[in-house]
Structure 1
């Protein structure tokens, strides 16, 4: 079972090496590695080219943002399973992709997701996002899987659509709530720390960005049939409190 793994990058010379090495260090062999660069102006491309034999597809050109770049990667992918690992992220262990494939095979599921740890630039764990199995009404109560751990079968994008750019920083949330809540796609929670993610996301850089992110979340909830969007919106950040414990 081939996995197409997509890395989105733009001016990430300080982290891209760590990301790539965590990919090529995986002990699962059937991986198609795709890197979509937004036209970096620092040393990112020079670093990427050091690993060119391990990269199946490399695109470097301007894009309309993270989710536009992800859509480019998905359109180029040929694997049965698609996942993403952004430039600031890296796999926690060398058997993550093997565990993902085993979950798809043994559980006969369409989506697999797991746990994520947030780290600072020095690698110290700041938050622990341990998810749980998604139920039929979980998204009504503010549930969201960690997107960097989200893997799904490629045919879902053709059937249910790609990332929608009009949802801004909530593009990943909108896709997951569309797949898992609106269309009830079968999913499996892999209770494993799959990814370490360096803190500093776009939506959290300022209060204005945070408010915009909440509005995008609310629109995504309304569109995809979350029963009480205002309640889910209030509960979504509250669910993060336990990540600091």
Structure 2
């Protein structure tokens, strides 16, 4: 089974090397690694070029943001399974992709997701996102798996659609709600830390951004027929409290 992995990047010269090295350090041999750069103006492209021999495809051109770039990568993906890895993040250990592949093969599912640790600049763990198993009404109670751990059959995007830019920073949430809740694809929870994510995100940088993100969340919930969207909107951040303990 070939796994396509897409990294979207823009001006990430401080983190892109560790991201790439976490991919090429995997013990799983069947990897198609695609990097989509938004036209970086720092040293990002020069760093990427040092790894050109182990990268399947490099695209560098202006885009309309992270999810537009992900869609570009998806259209070039040829693996049976596809996932994404942000330029600021890295795979947790060298067995991540082999564990994901094994889960797909042994369980014969449409998607696999797992756990994620948030780390600070010093590499210390600040939060632990343990996803837990998704059941039929989980999304109505504010459930969301960490998107960087979400891998699915590549063919699903042609059937169910790509990332929708109209949901802004919640485009990843909307896609997972659509796939997992609305279309009820078969998923497998892999109880393993798959990604180390660097703390800090665009949607959390200010109160204005947070309110805007909530608006996108609510829009995604209503679009995909979440039963009680206002209640779910309240429960979604509350579920994150336990990640700090």
Q: TM exceeds 0.5?
A: yes
| 1:220 and 2:237 matched | no
| C-alpha deviation, 1:203, in angstroms | 0.3
Query: How many residues of Structure 1 are paired with residues of Structure 2 in the alignment?
Result: 245
Match of 2:4 in 1: 4
| 1:173 and 2:168 matched | no
Cα distance in 2 for partners of 1:45, 1:185 equals 37
Cα distance in 2 for partners of 1:9, 1:201 equals 14
Query: Where does structure 1 differ by over 4 angstroms across 4 or more consecutive aligned residues?
Result: none
Cα distance in 1 for partners of 2:203, 2:189 equals 25
- CA offsets per residue over residues 114-156 of structure 1, 9 Å max, x none? 0000001111100000011111110000000000000000010
| TM-score (normalised: structure 2) | 1.00
Give SS of 1:82's match: strand
Cα distance in 2 for partners of 1:92, 1:145 equals 16
Cα distance in 2 for partners of 1:3, 1:194 equals 15
Give SS of 1:148's match: helix
| 1:105 and 2:105 matched | yes
| TM-score (normalised: structure 1) | 1.00
Match of 1:24 in 2: 24
| C-alpha deviation, 1:225, in angstroms | 1.0
Match of 1:154 in 2: 154
Runs (5+) with no aligned partner, structure 2: none
Give SS of 1:28's match: coil
Cα distance in 2 for partners of 1:239, 1:203 equals 17
Give SS of 1:33's match: strand
Match of 2:86 in 1: 86
Cα distance in 1 for partners of 2:91, 2:185 equals 25
Give SS of 2:189's match: strand
Match of 2:133 in 1: 133
